[in-house]
Structure 1
Amino acid sequence: MAVPAPLSIVARSALHLRDVGPATVSELSRSLEVSRTSVETAVGVLTQAGLVADAPLVPGGGAGRPARRYAFQSDAGAVVGVDIGVASIRVVVSDLGGAVVAQRTFDGVAGRPDGPAKLAAVIDDIRRTLADASIPASRVRTIGVSLPGIVDDAGRVTASVVIPEWSGIDIGSQLRHAFGCPVAVDNGVRLAAVAEHHLGVAQLVDDVVYLSVGNRIAMGLILGGQPRRGIHNAAGDIGRLAFRGISNETGQLLWRTAPTAAEVFALARGGDRDAQAELDAFIEELSHGIAMLIMTVDPAMVVIGGGLSEAHERLLDPLREALPRHIRLPFQVPLTEARLGAEAAAHGALVHAFRRHPGEVYGLDDMPVPPITPLPHDAAAPDTTEEKK
């Protein structure tokens, strides 16, 4: 993994004020181990850019006037993350310090008649979220987008079996035109993996397999601390190949004893033998596929997300029991439930926006992604979808 270049003194000063808190020039100078003159110059640049302003003075023990303090202006702008799905559209908005200040969930694009109508719904949902939070669209500095499909590095949808009308369409360019700011687009499962690595269950782990198990099975890879795209941007699109019993056309999971996985689990929990047998066969097949991924990548952790992760230990315990039978080596890879649940991809889109466009967010090309602080569950806006994703 390439060693990142050292941050500039301006970026280091901004980083300290953003992530640590207000400070004087002397405090910054000591903390950063650079001269007062360098810090004064950096603070001047940041003040002129609107990222830093005077903080309330803190009375000292001496007789003189307290030293001037500076604070990062997190409310100087906003960053948006949006996760687009057929069943739901999730929008999160953060300030420049990474604190989520607004979050909404809307009906997905499934009911829209065509590609333009689906895009119009996404634009309207973003605007409604901003309006409800009293955030002018002009304050949005960049937007991150998560969607189902193979997305190239420029943000064009190469292929999507879930939203086929968008295949070949530059969704990022359409949203840039609508909001007048840079847009970063990527695959939803990859961005869910990014979120679990940045603020979820895998924060301290640099080699992670994130497996989304829901209506479909897909994978996101974090290798060396970075999301793996692959030369054709298709890394992780393994559901139709690595797991049998899946519709080859759409990648949809097919169930025999009930229409949905939730109903199969409910029947099995109630003692239905056929449903239990179907679940046992599914878990055996899933564990075999996960074992293949483990032996291919040799990750430090496997994270299970997606809708079926809501089965919790009824899914994870049998998987943990089955994996050693397939791997048969003297080590175990931790298999963990995702922490962020259905909110993962939207928060991953937020991280992606900060990472891809730091210059537009901060005016500094070397500014790192902030720690993302989600809203407490009881503070999020009510779910307006009829059916959750």
Structure 2
Amino acid sequence: MRVPARFGGLGGLAVPVVAAPMAGGPSTPELVAAVTAAGGLGFLAAGYRSAAAMTEEIHRLGELTGRPFGVNLFVPSDAPSGTAPVAAYRERLRPEAERHGVLLPAAVAPDRDDWDAKIAALTADPVPLVSYTFGLPSPDEARALRAAGTYQIGTVTSAAEARLAAAAGMDALCVQGPEAGGHRGTFRVAAAPGRTPLPELLAEVRAVSGLPLIAAGGIADGPAVAAALRAGAAAVQLGTAYLCADEAGTSAAHRAALTDPGFTGTVVTRAFTGRAARGLRNAFIDRYEPYAPAVYPEVHHLTRPLRAAAAERGDTAAMHLWAGTGHRLARTGPAAETTRELWRAAQSAPGPSASTDR
């Protein structure tokens, strides 16, 4: 593969738009390459993938672009697993499994998402950027990647997490507001995700850290991009806006649901994975959210057969349909054109020029 260029910092982006890492399929090498070709920045999602699969995607992306790109890692939790709550939830889900004709795992083994092997691979064969979700690397791990020349970004959902990320030596922070689709990046699994709107959260983080900030959460059009940049962000991160892009790996059923008027909104739920995550509200969430334990990734593995069966049938009443609050604005077409159009719209949005506030 081509050796990607080193990353010169968020201020060097021609277009300060970042394609969020979306684990589970939507983020593809083709999507990342398209956004980088338009002057933005894209991330591969290594969560739920083995180190070997991550490396394969990195090599594929290296064949598509020589521009800088990032890889996102899920930081494993050191919290003890909740065996009894997961077992109780399994019993609660048994009728659902019978309806779908699937077996739920009797037990879920500990899972660190192949973390050690991923860190080793990224240290031996560095990529320009690495971002972290659900926590931070150890000091030794952060130092090793820094020595390899990798720019590191910590995902934070509060000022307290921002302080920890800055102390850990992160080069920038991705500030994730409550409007974001998919999992909230809280450091603790059981932590109740904050509700401070993104503009206010940016101000709170800015008050405790001078690191460059990436704003994430509910940003789906030009005016929202411009507002986040005026609020002090160096760049904005969008995920849901790219779910319907030609290059995204999003399923047909998920794509259709994003603009289906039958889905009246999004909600934060633990029903599918045990971690708080925002998605389109459906029947599965209504039935099981009150009983879902805050245990991750055990609940994720427990419900995986159910979600796979629902996805195979295109059953949106039982699928996890991650989406942010701006899901109605998800765009079809090439991701590069979406990126360019977002930036054009941001530059022409009312108020001070977005380009002068970076």
TM-score > 0.5 by shorter chain = no
TM-score, structure 2 as length reference: 0.29
Q: Which has the larger radius of gyration?
A: 1
Q: Larger strand proportion, structure 1 or 2?
A: 1
